[in-house]
């Protein structure tokens, strides 16, 4: 029987994995956009030269938005077009994982990594998101492999490759800083394990070159990062779970056991390094998020590389039991739940947009919903939130947003807008559908829920406005749903109660 290592069979197997992955990951490309995807589309639709400046309001680095901008110029802003880059990144993760596992730990490890990359639920989810996390996962796999080649296996060709990938990661998502801490911790382990010879000095020189070049490339962005750290953040983020810290501890301690599976000292060192990278990255992200809100499950995309390689190498080394475990995990992920609807914004706006004309006002009590609303509603509308009138509906201004939302009141933010509207004008009130779950416990989301109730009461009690029609979510969605109510101003008189 011909072995899987035969080039023709290997290419066919890889193509089959990519096709399978594409089938799994293209089922929700045309689903309604949700908040974050609307923000991506809004920012990327601006001229490329304006995007770095706009991100001072958003709190992200620019690489993904610039890539998406270039793609929008070619493919447009339909749901499928906006998500296509993420799908491509997720599919590229399959051959990248094959190369990474095979080149580091052998053929079996490579195919396990490739199979996992093809069906991993996290990657399947992010492949259908117009966000940067599929790209982060792809870069994490490639950069972690390059790090191990460069330092654990001392292959100097990988040093500049790692430097370039680290720089790209830093410009794609700030959690790359935590991953860099993990790599530095692993580098310390590698240096400590090296004999005090010129080889150690060469390793230190290579490390200084790789991290120094990446840091030098990232330096022009540091002023923007400093501004973002001071003025933007993630006030919508819940505190990180204690289970994440426990998982970091397990990864750190478990590395000692997993490293025994290595067939030689360098492979054992590589396995220890992977465990340490994952543990330090997760612990650092957890610690920062305890002090300052900065936690979301999708941020863990930076861990895909070290965890994927660690799993592939470990399972490849425990023989038939590892093969059974790998096959079981692959089948379980393959047969996972079908994608659900992310948001009802597209359907809800379609039901009411016919009643709006240029100059009418859209009031969104959840400010970050505006970019996705602007994506689906007709052009020429005006937008306002509890933070005030929106000058650019394609961008959510997160600068000091929580402090601003805390001080606003309907009397100062809403009533002047109602008074300024001419008779016959229409208002579309958009409020989140608040459910009793963990999504509404963070400082920002709790306050959004309060402001939504206040604005709905004030507008509903104003006798100058007549309610025309409403659209409410009928099914639960994966992300935040919205309730829409259309009003018309029927009298210019002073407010009534």
Tell me if residue 446 falls in helix, strand or coil.
helix
Counted residue by residue, the chain has a size of: 497
Could you tell me whether strands 361-364 and 426-432 are parallel, antiparallel, or unpaired per DSSP bridges? parallel
The pLDDT, as a whole number, for residue 496 is: 47
The pLDDT, as a whole number, for residue 438 is: 67
Is the pLDDT confidence value at 2 over 70?
A: no
- Work out the average pLDDT over 401-417: 90
- Work out the average pLDDT over 397-409: 92
Among 36-45, 159-168, 475-484, name the one with the lowest average pLDDT: 475-484
Q: Helices marked H in 318-423 — which ranges?
A: 320-334, 345-352, 370-376, 401-407, 410-413, 415-420
**What is the torsional sign of CA 122, 123, 129, 134?**
positive
- Work out the average pLDDT over 489-493: 81
* Count of beta carbons in the 10 Å neighbourhood of residue 496: 9
335 class by beta-carbon count within 10 Å (0-12 exposed, 13-18 middle, 19+ buried): exposed
Tell me if residue 340 falls in helix, strand or coil.
coil
- Please give the Cα distance from 38 to 295 (Å, whole number): 20
The pLDDT, as a whole number, for residue 194 is: 79
The pLDDT, as a whole number, for residue 493 is: 59
- Work out the average pLDDT over 169-173: 98
Is the pLDDT confidence value at 110 over 90?
A: yes
What is the pTM assigned to this prediction?
0.94
Model confidence band, residue 198 (pLDDT cutoffs 50, 70, 90): confident
User: Which of 7 and 358 is assigned the larger pLDDT?
Assistant: 358
Is the pLDDT confidence value at 497 over 50?
A: no
Model confidence band, residue 494 (pLDDT cutoffs 50, 70, 90): low
Is the pLDDT confidence value at 159 over 80?
A: yes
The pLDDT, as a whole number, for residue 259 is: 75
Euclidean distance between the first and the last CA atom of the chain, given in angstroms as a whole number: 84
The pLDDT, as a whole number, for residue 146 is: 98
The pLDDT, as a whole number, for residue 12 is: 93
**Structure-block tokens of residue 176:** 């790359």
**Segment (H or E) for 164:** helix 158-170
Is the pLDDT confidence value at 184 over 80?
A: yes
Phi (first) and psi of residue 432, to 5 degrees: -70, 150
- Work out the average pLDDT over 251-264: 79
Model confidence band, residue 34 (pLDDT cutoffs 50, 70, 90): very high
Q: Which residues pair with 385 in a beta bridge?
A: 388
Yes or no: say if 186 and 151 are a contact pair by the CB < 8 Å rule. Answer: yes
- Please give the Cα distance from 389 to 413 (Å, whole number): 9
- Work out the average pLDDT over 264-287: 94
| b/e sequence 41-74, b meaning 16+ C-beta within 10 Å | bbbbbbeeeebeebbbbbbbbbbbbbbbbebbee
Is the pLDDT confidence value at 471 over 90?
A: no
- Please give the Cα distance from 230 to 449 (Å, whole number): 25
Residues of the chain above pLDDT 90, percent: 73
The pLDDT, as a whole number, for residue 479 is: 81
pLDDT digits (tens, 9 = 90+) for 365-383: 999 999 999 999 999 999 9
Is the pLDDT confidence value at 260 over 80?
A: no
The pLDDT, as a whole number, for residue 5 is: 54
User: Average per-residue pLDDT in the chain?
Assistant: 91
pLDDT digits (tens, 9 = 90+) for 306-344: 999 999 999 998 888 888 888 888 888 887 766 778 889
- Please give the Cα distance from 378 to 381 (Å, whole number): 7
- Please give the Cα distance from 271 to 314 (Å, whole number): 8
Model confidence band, residue 468 (pLDDT cutoffs 50, 70, 90): very high
Transcribe 90-119 into DSSP letters. Answer: HHHHHHHHHHHHHHHH-HHHHHHHHHHHHH
- Please give the Cα distance from 334 to 44 (Å, whole number): 33
- Please give the Cα distance from 70 to 48 (Å, whole number): 8
- Please give the Cα distance from 259 to 291 (Å, whole number): 33
Is the pLDDT confidence value at 495 over 60?
A: no
- Work out the average pLDDT over 357-371: 95
Beta strand residue intervals within 347-393, DSSP E: 361-364, 382-385, 388-389
């Amino acid at each position: 029987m011909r072995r899987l290592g035969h080039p023709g069979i290997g290419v066919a197997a890889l193509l089959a994995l990519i096709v399978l992955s594409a089938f799994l990951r293209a089922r929700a490309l045309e689903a309604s956009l949700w908040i974050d995807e609307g923000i991506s589309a809004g920012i990327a639709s601006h001229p490329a030269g304006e995007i770095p400046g706009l991100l001072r309001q958003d709190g992200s680095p620019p690489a993904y938005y610039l890539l998406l901008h270039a793609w929008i110029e070619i493919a447009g802003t339909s749901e499928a077009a906006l998500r296509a880059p993420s799908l491509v990144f997720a599919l590229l993760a399959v051959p990248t994982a094959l190369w990474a596992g095979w080149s580091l730990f052998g053929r079996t490890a490579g195919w396990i990594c490739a199979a996992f990359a093809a069906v991993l639920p996290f990657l399947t989810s992010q492949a259908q998101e117009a966000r940067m996390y599929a790209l982060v996962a792809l870069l994490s796999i490639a950069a972690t492999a390059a790090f191990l080649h460069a330092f654990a296996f001392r292959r100097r060709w990988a040093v500049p490759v790692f430097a370039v990938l680290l720089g790209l990661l830093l410009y794609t998502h700030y959690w790359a800083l935590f991953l860099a801490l993990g790599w530095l911790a692993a580098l310390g382990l590698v240096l400590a394990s090296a004999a005090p010879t010129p080889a150690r000095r060469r390793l230190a020189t290579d490390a200084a070159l790789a991290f120094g070049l990446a840091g030098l490339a990232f330096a022009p962005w540091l002023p923007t990062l400093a501004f973002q750290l001071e003025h933007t953040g993630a006030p919508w983020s819940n505190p990180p779970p204690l289970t994440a810290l426990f998982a970091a501890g397990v990864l750190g301690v478990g590395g000692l056991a997993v490293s025994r599976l290595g067939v030689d000292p360098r492979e054992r060192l590589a396995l220890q390094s992977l465990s340490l990278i994952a543990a330090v990255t997760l612990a650092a992200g957890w610690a920062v998020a305890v002090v300052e809100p900065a936690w979301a499950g999708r941020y863990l995309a930076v861990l895909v590389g070290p965890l994927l390689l660690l799993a592939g190498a470990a399972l490849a080394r425990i023989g038939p039991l590892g093969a059974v475990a790998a096959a079981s995990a692959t089948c379980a992920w393959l047969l996972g739940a079908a994608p659900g609807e992310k948001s009802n914004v597209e359907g809800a706006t379609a039901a009411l947009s016919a009643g709006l004309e240029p100059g009418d006002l859209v009031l969104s009590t959840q400010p970050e919903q505006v970019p996705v609303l602007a994506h689906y509603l007709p052009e020429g509308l005006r937008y306002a939130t509890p933070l005030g009138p929106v000058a650019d509906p394609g961008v959510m201004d997160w600068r000091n947003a929580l402090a601003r939302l805390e001080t606003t009141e309907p009397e100062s933010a809403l009533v002047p807008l109602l008074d300024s509207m001419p008779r016959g004008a229409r208002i579309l009130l958009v409020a989140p559908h608040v459910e009793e779950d963990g999504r509404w416990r963070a400082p920002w989301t709790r306050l959004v829920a309060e402001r939504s109730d206040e604005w709905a009461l004030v507008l509903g009690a104003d006798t100058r406005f007549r309610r025309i029609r409403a659209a409410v979510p009928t099914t639960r969605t994966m992300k935040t749903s919205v309730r829409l109510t259309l009003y018309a101003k029927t009298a210019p008189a002073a407010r009534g109660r």
